[in-house]
Amino acid sequence: MSEADRIQQLLDDPIIERAFENVYRYLHELIDETNSDDVETLRSLSIRLNLLATVKADLVAAIENETYEDFVAQQNEELRNVH
């Protein structure tokens, strides 16, 4: 089984899908419950929410690229450029 096939299998797993949904909902609940004056907490929650979406999008991109190794190399290059 290829890496892309394995990633697709994970994304299709109802447990993984529910986990993404639960974390997404939980972060939104925390945002709703956080005092609007608590800018640092809201910023942190927003970053976490964006990262969750990014992780899922990156997994989908890895499948669509069909060349998981190239995708990983690209991600590593981007990380090196950030630091």
Per-residue pLDDT, 66: 62
Phi-psi region of 72 (alpha: psi -120 to 50; beta: other; left: phi over 0): alpha
Residue 58 pLDDT grade (very low, low, confident, very high; cuts 50, 70, 90): confident
Could you read off the pLDDT of 6-47 as tens digits, one per residue? Answer: 888 888 999 999 999 999 999 999 999 999 999 999 999 999
Looking at residue 79, its pLDDT comes to 80
Range of the domain at 26: 3-82
Q: State the pLDDT confidence band at 64, using cuts at 50, 70 and 90.
A: confident
Question: What is the Cα–Cα distance from 53 to 9, expressed in whole angstroms?
Answer: 18
Q: What are phi and psi of 9, to 5 degrees?
A: -60, -40
User: Is residue 7 classed as helix, strand or coil in its secondary structure?
Assistant: helix
The total number of structural domains in the chain stands at 1
**pTM of the complete model:** 0.69
> 34 vs 82, which has greater pLDDT?
34
